[in-house]
Structure 1
Amino acid sequence: MPPSPVRPDRSSPHPLWRDDTVTTGIHLDPTRKHDFLFLIEATDSNPNGDPDAGGMPRTDPVSGQGLITDVAIKRKIRNTVALLNAHQPEPGYEIYVEAGVALNAQHERAYAARGDKATQADARAWMCQNFYDVRMFGAVMSTGKKPAGRVQGPMQIGFSRSIDAITPLEIGITRVTPTKQEDVDAFNNPTENKKGKETEMGTKHIVPYALYCGTGHFSAPLATRTGVTTKDLAIFWRAFQLMFEHDRASARGSLALRGLYIFTHDDAFGRAPSHSLFDRIEVKQLHDATARSFTDYGTPDIDDTDLPAGVTLTRLIG
């Protein structure tokens, strides 16, 4: 087992936390096991394009259900944590997997900080201490001349799957100007061999409507290894609720978090299997017609009576 990292002081409230529902409560206790279920609504949006399919929304080829990968969700959380911390940077909240930054360079920082005699375990502890996503999600840091090893993250998120089958659409669009200047020049002064062009065609992929359901898990024993604090969990739930609010883009249309339900156990290893807890939350259509809004599903049916001893349900959304 790697040595426990030196923990910076991350106990004070973050300046951008504004919601008391994510700054108090047992769902912030890193010594407990947490299992959570969430609902994501997509309207005229491509929530997660598949690069192997030309950017089309990801689907299960057998059931036709839409998919959102865990990687897509964690990317949004990383981006949101970076935004929350940018206003008043604090030690311990850097992001390891960041656009435009080589991973090996981050490993080298760890060795430089720990000195000439630093071991891989020292570097790994430094990475956990300084990078929020390493501490929460884990990382494989075995590349480069100065590898920092592997960290198994305590916070894991699975694929999200739409409640019903989706019907992806490909929408044709035009742009009023071409990309290349020579096309503009040729259009304004056409010749027999080159006519040029004044517009260009493109496509957008959307899902008219879908409601996705996903799950996640937090392991307290693994959190002890990486040094997760109450504040780390608070910023995770805050970022989870904000991740679509600051990730707007033409391709993604409208995405909204419609439900976030956390089952907290009173010990580190859990009091009940997570699947039995998730089965207590049922989302179903109210009628046979194709769903086109959240109201077509109604309020999720949540059975919170007679929960297993030691399990508490916290509803952050829904």
Structure 2
Amino acid sequence: MNEFINRGTGLLLIEVKNSNPNGDPDRESDPRTRQDGRGEISPVSFKRKLRDLVDAKDAPIWKELAQELELPEEGFDIMESKRTKRAEVNALSIEERLAKYWDARVFGATFLEGETGEKESFIASGVAQFGLGVSLDPVKIERMTTTKVLPVEEGKTKGMAPLGYRIVSYGLYVMPFFINATAAQKTHCTKKDIDLLLRLIPHAYKETASYIRSQVDIRHAFYVEHNRARGTFNDFRIIETLTPARINKLSGAAESWKDYDEEALQKNIDILNEKLSGKTSPVIDLMECL
């Protein structure tokens, strides 16, 4: 099933402006941060947005991509969906689950023996693995109290949400991702599944924007496809080269994309493409393939 899938190495540059890209439930939904002040975006959070785009079968984005990629009507359900009932999933064999659920084939799934008495366990790592998104520099978190309209039955017309609006003023996050063709043997992932994934990535944030994520988007989505399934170049050398640097090696919180050396980044990409020649396809930016 995976004979046409090659290894892939990607890096997302996620730009955040006055938004909360991923709230931390352990900190009253503050934007996630680590001890050095840099922000974080969990892989689960990003994959949730891709799942939601596939799950929204009536939305224009799904209809257009399904037509362009000539996707069949069946086989692209989402296992991790609010509409999916665990009992119905457990009633299916592993082969039936993989044939039905796109996210199980691409991201993998873990179903252990549960209350339903299921005899067959399914633990598999997916073909696509997204790493933790981390901002290149420390981020500034702003908090403010907002007003909100309360239900009429409470006898009030408005109320307050103390410090309920928690945002990152600006941050540039890098999130690596990898396509592992070997895992396709277990999940029956096909090249068409991966093609859909790559086409969805540019739309992940702008098509799932919300009140608190109004200005989160991907500035660059770099991707390198290797010439064979087991890979032909060091993943981390690719990622390091595609990671932008601050102008004049400044430190502290950045204020905009202009604080990063875009010209040097492009030169690095040109040099990397020379090294990749004959081993991988050239670096592409999925954001230019909308």
The match for 1:263 is 224
TM-score, scaled relative to structure 1: 0.76
1:260–1:179 distance in 2 versus 1, CA, 3 Å = same
CA distance in 1, matches of 2:154, 2:277: 70
What is the identity, as a one-letter code, of the residue corresponding to 1:137? F
Task: Please tell me whether the aligned partners of residues 138 and 253 of structure 2 are also in contact (alpha carbons under 8 angstroms).
Answer: no
1:253-302 residue CA offsets vs partner (Å, 9 max, x unmatched): 21111111112221111122211221222312225485322232242342
Match of 1:94 among 77, 84, 90: 77
1:2-46 residue CA offsets vs partner (Å, 9 max, x unmatched): xx7xx9xxxxxxxxxxxxxxxxxxxxx843111111100011100
Q: Which runs of 4+ in 1 moved over 4 A?
A: 84-89
CA distance in 2, matches of 1:91, 1:135: 14
1:80-125 residue CA offsets vs partner (Å, 9 max, x unmatched): 12234468771110000002433232221x1xxxxxxxxxxxx111
Alignment of 1:296-311 (within 5 A): 296-299=259-262, 300=265, 301-302=268-269, 303-304=271-272, 305-307=274-276, 309-311=278-280
1:182–1:97 distance in 2 versus 1, CA, 3 Å = closer
1:77–1:246 distance in 2 versus 1, CA, 3 Å = same
The match for 2:105 is 135
Match of 2:138 among 156, 165, 179: 165
Task: Please tell me whether the aligned partners of residues 153 and 222 of structure 1 are also in contact (alpha carbons under 8 angstroms).
Answer: yes
Q: CA RMSD in A?
A: 2.3
CA distance in 1, matches of 2:31, 2:4: 35
1:182–1:134 distance in 2 versus 1, CA, 3 Å = closer
The match for 1:220 is 181
For residue 160 of structure 2, give the secondary structure of its aligned residue in structure 1.
Answer: strand
Computing the radius of gyration from Cα coordinates, the structure with the larger value is: 1
What is the identity, as a one-letter code, of the residue corresponding to 1:310? K
1:52 counterpart = 2:22: no
1:182–1:291 distance in 2 versus 1, CA, 3 Å = closer
Alignment of 1:202-281 (within 5 A): 202=161, 203-281=164-242
For residue 283 of structure 2, give the secondary structure of its aligned residue in structure 1.
Answer: strand
* Structure with the larger helix share: 2
CA deviation after TM superposition for structure 1 residue 238, in Å: 1.2
CA distance in 2, matches of 1:272, 1:86: 36
The match for 2:150 is 178
What is the identity, as a one-letter code, of the residue corresponding to 2:182? P
1:182–1:72 distance in 2 versus 1, CA, 3 Å = closer
The match for 2:160 is 201
1:207–1:182 distance in 2 versus 1, CA, 3 Å = closer
CA distance in 2, matches of 1:273, 1:266: 13
Structure 2, unpaired ranges of 5+: 67-71
Structure 1, unpaired ranges of 5+: 8-28, 111-122, 185-197
The match for 2:11 is 37
1:155-175 residue CA offsets vs partner (Å, 9 max, x unmatched): 110100001100111121012
1:52–1:267 distance in 2 versus 1, CA, 3 Å = same
TM-score, scaled relative to structure 2: 0.83
CA distance in 2, matches of 1:313, 1:199: 56
